[in-house]
Amino acid sequence: MLDNPKNDPDLDRDLRAVWHPCTQMKDHASIPPLLIERGEGIYLIDRDGKRYMDVISSWWVNLFGHNHPRLNAALKDQADRMAHVMFAGVTHSPAIDLACSLVDLTPSHLTRVFFSDNGSTSVEVALKMSLQYWQQTGQVERVRFIHLSGGYHGETLGALSVCGIDLFREKFEKVLMENIEVTGPDCFRCPYNLRPESCGAECFEPMEKTLAENAKTVAGVVIEPLVQGAAGMKMYPPVYLKKLEDACASTGAHTIYDEVAVAFGRTGALFVCGEHGLSPTFLCLSKGITSGYLPLAATLTSEEIFQAFYGEPSSMKLFIHSHSYTANPLACACANETITMLRENNFLETLQPKIKYLGEVGNRLRELEWCGEFRQTGMIAAMELVRDKKSREPFPPELRVGYRIYLEGLKRGVFMRPLGNVIYFIPPLIIMEKEIETMIDAADESIRAVLKK
Amino acid sequence: MLDNPKNDPDLDRDLRAVWHPCTQMKDHASIPPLLIERGEGIYLIDRDGKRYMDVISSWWVNLFGHNHPRLNAALKDQADRMAHVMFAGVTHSPAIDLACSLVDLTPSHLTRVFFSDNGSTSVEVALKMSLQYWQQTGQVERVRFIHLSGGYHGETLGALSVCGIDLFREKFEKVLMENIEVTGPDCFRCPYNLRPESCGAECFEPMEKTLAENAKTVAGVVIEPLVQGAAGMKMYPPVYLKKLEDACASTGAHTIYDEVAVAFGRTGALFVCGEHGLSPTFLCLSKGITSGYLPLAATLTSEEIFQAFYGEPSSMKLFIHSHSYTANPLACACANETITMLRENNFLETLQPKIKYLGEVGNRLRELEWCGEFRQTGMIAAMELVRDKKSREPFPPELRVGYRIYLEGLKRGVFMRPLGNVIYFIPPLIIMEKEIETMIDAADESIRAVLKK
């Protein structure tokens, strides 16, 4: 397809009217976007019938594959009752069931669910709740958030202000809320020369210092637990989070866990916080919540936070935030079916052999001369390509190594979308071992095709 | 129902786990939310089978009624192909068709469509595109936006920073981007003592002055054309917008039209900008775009803006913004069917007699001793209640006049949700004349029941 891009009139129409997200549109002047017509399990199918394995789950959202009969049925069944109703003054079963499930399945102190539409808004809600909490409980100077270098929490301007990746923020620096960036874990290039399996999160020191120095002005710390996705699937051990919780407990700062990318089975568990006995003040969820069907997000928090907003109407303590489609019943119906499927037939246990197998076949990638690191957390795996294995010297961005490997992958029927020099895999959880092997083989071949010259 | 709230266990579950948007949750301790199970045309139906006329279209989103066979069919048909696929590197027919329709139906200079999930994000996208445009075209000091008092553009922190309603922003003032608020039109309490039908937008003066004084630092002006929704359906004449376009053209500032609430037939036209020959730099759409089925938004802009982001990958001029479910195919399918229905069988023309009738029966409300003003723009009507008709003295907020009228409305099978002292109607466009009469009668009775004491 790439060697002979079809002159499909719909592609012309796309290129005349559509502005694609996070895309230099000029790239599509030579190589048009894939025109995907159908989905089937872990495959995307284009207009010519060519199949592409969706190894990044369509931006990390899909859990049970495309066109799943049970999710389709849940969607259609809800459509026959009601697609949507506003969520102020009104409630409905799909939202009630989902909220109760989330409260039941997350750590016990999380008792309240506020719905919104996407990962960005789930973080905006947490930031706003944290700020308003401090305004209403007397610590009015708590108006700054700490975030990690490499952190990503969405791209609306509030969420972007706690983002630690220059690429996303640099054009907007002049208007972003002044938050505090702290150097976070970097296990691949650990400055302490430690291994994540055995370290004590020595790299927590800058966070500890920053929290102590700003103890009275920090509202909260925003963090992606275990995996910093957009930074290139950078992974770090849970001991960092335990230290964070202790430090926040001693200074009173809130913890905002952005599990948008990692929750709902990606790490092998439903939620990272639950798996590791952690107690975030706020838990942000989206992406997999509907198994890749519809936009939906939830921000969970504690009774203590909720009570600070509860009172007589005249107190004006209420949380004023809304989106028109808050708790959309169609999306909630898909989410409820997703949670049912995640919890039945020991589904999460069935991931364990796949996780093991992914590590095993991933070893093949470790042998590549350009493999700086092959890392894995549950069903998420990533390989960081380097020009020189010993010095860990990265490929310069102008070589566009990742993009060229992506194009080679398409030829081989695998839809990857590297993050810079990091080739990563976050496939639908239903992927089978044989397909994992195909995926790794295709990546292997694509990398060699680009770099062996 | 309100006199004898049912002890439905699902309501208990709701009140234990759900945090509703823009709601003082303590209100629900005495009066639980409505437990809506089904929708049918313009009616919402609760678990006991009681029907409520949805006169505010579920937060202004629904155009063709609930559970519409054609929208349901469009949704299900798309579900059978593919619920979702990521929108970077990929495209699909539902998004292409929608983008092309929007480009065709809006003013001709709007050629590019960027999708997102809700009204807030559609505005965030416009703000970010405007900022980045100036950064990339040499006017780097253009980093402030002008907005109107009473303006509402969403509640993520970027969108909130161009909001002119204290209620929404006051708890977050310390972190909001510094924009410039200008006193906007206030036709009901016009300081010039003019009538909107015949005035020359004399109230444009503060905007003109502010634009001139900040000519080099203003990136753009954000505005809700014709109707300031959250401010209480405040309405103003198009001459204000014509003056705005002239003033922005002379200073170079962008115009960002937030037609999230008013587009897709609400005013009697598809788009306000098209109807009045206006040329916004950015046009923000959401709400009615899917006829109240699913969250979806679009930000349209011109070729000039698009080209400032187009270039070699190494130039790093691309627009970096994304949401996982950008251009969700299910939502796009509903949007395409919505646009088809809006355009066929002279649908918009069929609204004209309804608009006329709404004005006629609305006259009945004008006779109420508490009616400060009954105003109307197309299918949107609002009545501002006052304590004293002559002085226009408002009811004090602690009386909660609007909330009490809302409760009376529920008893009468009408779901209103006033904005402070403003009772408003923005019903599904399919409402019939007889139903308009019922709606107005119920409002009339509800108002009398609360105020005649």
Residues 144 to 203 of B: which have CB under 8 A from any A CB?
A: 154-159, 161, 167-168, 171-172, 174-177
pLDDT at A3 over 50: no
Nearest to A96 among B14, B301, B328 (CB): B14
Using alpha carbons, list the distances in angstroms from residue A327 to A69, A114, B141.
23, 9, 40
**Residue A195: predicted pLDDT:** 95
Determine whether the interchain pair A119/B306 forms a contact, defined as Cβ–Cβ distance below 8 Å.
no
**Average pLDDT taken over every residue of chain B:** 97
Chain B interface test: which of A80, A118, A142 (most B C-beta within 10 Å): A118
Q: Is the pLDDT of residue A207 over 60?
A: yes
Q: In what order do the strands lie in the sheet with A144-148?
A: A110-116, A297-302, A282-285, A254-258, A218-223, A144-148, A180-182
- Quote the minimal CA–CA distance from A328 to chain B in Å: 7
| A452 vs A142, more confident | A142
Please tell me the distance from the alpha carbon of residue B37 to that of residue B47, in angstroms, as a whole number. 6
**Can you tell me which residue has the tokens 């502010």?**
B210
pLDDT digits (tens, 9 = 90+) for B303-325: 999 999 999 999 999 999 999 99
Does the pLDDT at position A453 exceed 80?
Answer: no
pLDDT, tens digit (0-9, with 9 covering 90-100), for B440-452: 999 999 999 999 9
Considering only CB atoms, B87 lies closest to which of A21, A157, A320, namely A21
CB A124 to CB B157 under 8 A? Answer: yes
Closest to B84 (Cβ–Cβ): which among A80, A176, A293?
A: A293
Contact (CB<8Å) A26/B312? yes
pLDDT tens by residue, A374-395: 999 999 999 999 999 999 999 9
Cα(A186)–Cα(B311) distance, integer angstroms: 33
Per the CB < 8 A criterion, the answer to whether A159 and A258 are in contact is no
Model pLDDT, residue B1: 42
pLDDT at residue B312, as a whole number? 96
Q: How far is B201 from chain A (nearest CA, A)?
A: 31
CA–CA dist A117, A195 (Å, integer): 38
Mean pLDDT of all residues in B208-228:
98
Query: Does residue A436 carry a pLDDT above 70?
Result: yes
Cβ B328–A10 below 8 Å, yes or no? Answer: no
Q: Is A82 in Cβ contact with B67 (below 8 Å)?
A: yes
Is residue B201 within 8 A of residue B185, CB to CB? The reply is yes
- pLDDT of A1 higher than 90: no
Confidence of residue A242 (pLDDT cuts 50, 70, 90): very high
- Chain B, 203-242: which have a CB under 8 Å from a chain A CB? none
Predicted pLDDT of residue A7: 78
What is the number of other CB atoms lying within 10 angstroms of the CB of residue A1? 17
> Judging by beta carbons within 10 Å of its beta carbon (0-12, 13-18, 19+), is residue B367 exposed, middle or buried?
exposed
What pLDDT shows up at residue B59? 97
User: pLDDT (tens digit, 9 = 90+) per residue, A162-174?
Assistant: 999 999 999 999 9
Cα–Cα distances (Å) from B389 to A87, B188, B402, B451, in that order, read: 34, 12, 17, 14
A116 bridge partner residues: A297
Q: Which two tokens stand for residue A116?
A: 């919104």
Nearest to A156 among B135, B158, B325 (CB): B158
**Which positions 290-319 of A are in contact with B (Cβ < 8 Å)?**
292-295, 301, 306, 309-314, 316-319
pLDDT at site A6 = 64
Q: Which chain B residue's Cα is nearest to A117?
A: B117
How distant is the Cα of A198 from the closest Cα of chain B, in angstroms? 35
- Which chain A residues are within 8 Å of B157, Cβ to Cβ? 124, 127-128, 156-158, 161, 177
Chain A residues with CB under 8 Å of B92 CB are 35-37
Find the CB nearest A27 among B154, B157, B313.
B313
Exposure b/e, B235-249, CB count within 10 A at least 16 = b? bbbbbbbebbbebbe
Q: What would the pLDDT profile of B169-186 be if each residue is shown by its tens digit?
A: 999 999 999 999 999 999
Question: Checking DSSP bridges between strand B144-148 and strand B180-182, what pairing results, if any?
Answer: parallel
Question: Mean pLDDT throughout B276-286?
Answer: 98
Give the start-to-end residue ranges of the domains of chain A: 34-67+346-451, 73-343
E strand map for B191-246: 218-223, 227-228, 234-235
Angle between helices B401-411 and B433-451 (to 10 degrees): 130
Q: Tally A–B CB contacts below 8 A.
A: 436
Partner-chain residue, chosen from B83, B93, B321, that has the shortest CB–CB distance to A10: B93
**How large is the average pLDDT for residues A7-25?**
96
Task: Provide the shortest C-alpha distance from residue A445 to chain B (in Å).
Answer: 21
Residue of B nearest to A330 (CA): B294
Show residues of chain A in contact with B101, CB under 8 Å: none
The helix (H) or strand (E) run that includes residue B271 is none
Q: Are strands B110-116 and B297-302 parallel, antiparallel or unpaired?
A: antiparallel
Q: Looking at CA atoms only, how far is residue A256 from chain B in angstroms?
A: 17
Q: Which of A217, A213, A196 has the alpha carbon at shortest distance from A205?
A: A213
Per-window interface: A 5-64 vs B, CB < 8 A: 10-11, 13-14, 16-27, 33-39, 44, 54, 56, 58-62
Q: What are the DSSP calls for B99-111, one per residue? A: HHHHHHHS-TTEE
| Listed residue (A293, A244, A250) closest to A272, CA to CA | A244
Q: How close is the nearest chain A Cα to the Cα of B405, in Å?
A: 14
Q: What is the pLDDT of residue B6?
A: 64
pLDDT score for B7 = 78
Q: What band does A364 get if pLDDT is binned at 50, 70 and 90?
A: very high
Q: Would you state the pLDDT for residue B5?
A: 53
Nearest Cα of chain A lies from the Cα of B13 at a distance, in angstroms, of 7
Return phi, psi of residue A135, to 5°. Answer: -65, -35
CB contact under 8 A, A328 and B62: no
Tens digits of per-residue pLDDT, A255-293? 999 999 999 999 999 999 999 999 999 999 999 999 999
CATH code: domain B73-343 is 3.40.640.10
| ipTM confidence score | 0.98
pLDDT 10s digits, B340-391: 999 999 999 999 999 999 999 999 999 999 999 999 999 999 999 999 999 9
Query: To which residue do tokens 């004090």 refer?
Result: B396
CATH class for domain A34-67+346-451?
Answer: alpha beta
Residue from the list B72, B91, B135 with its beta carbon closest to the beta carbon of A33: B91
What's the average model confidence in pLDDT over B244-267?
A: 98
* Pick from B218, B223, B257: nearest CA to B149: B223
In this predicted structure, the answer to whether residue B2 has a pLDDT above a threshold of 60 is no
Fold of B34-67+347-451: Aspartate Aminotransferase, domain 1 (3.90.1150)
pTM above threshold 0.90: yes
CB contact (8 A) between residue B96 and residue A18: yes
Give B77-108 pLDDT, tens digit per residue: 999 999 999 999 999 999 999 999 999 999 99
- pLDDT > 80? residue B128: yes
Which H helix or E strand runs over A376?
A: strand A371-377
Residue of B nearest to A309 (CA): B24
Phi/psi of residue B91, nearest 5 degrees: -140, 175
- pLDDT of residue A2 exceeding 70: no
Tokens of B127: 């703000």
With a CB-CB cutoff of 8 Å, which residues 330-359 of chain A face chain B?
A: 330-331
Kindly report the nearest CA distance between residue A191 and chain B, in angstroms: 30
Q: Which of B36, B112, B113 sits opposite A85 (nearest CB)?
A: B36
Quote the crossing angle between the two packed helices A329-343 and A69-79, to the nearest 10°: 150
Give how far B10 is from chain A: nearest CA, Å: 7
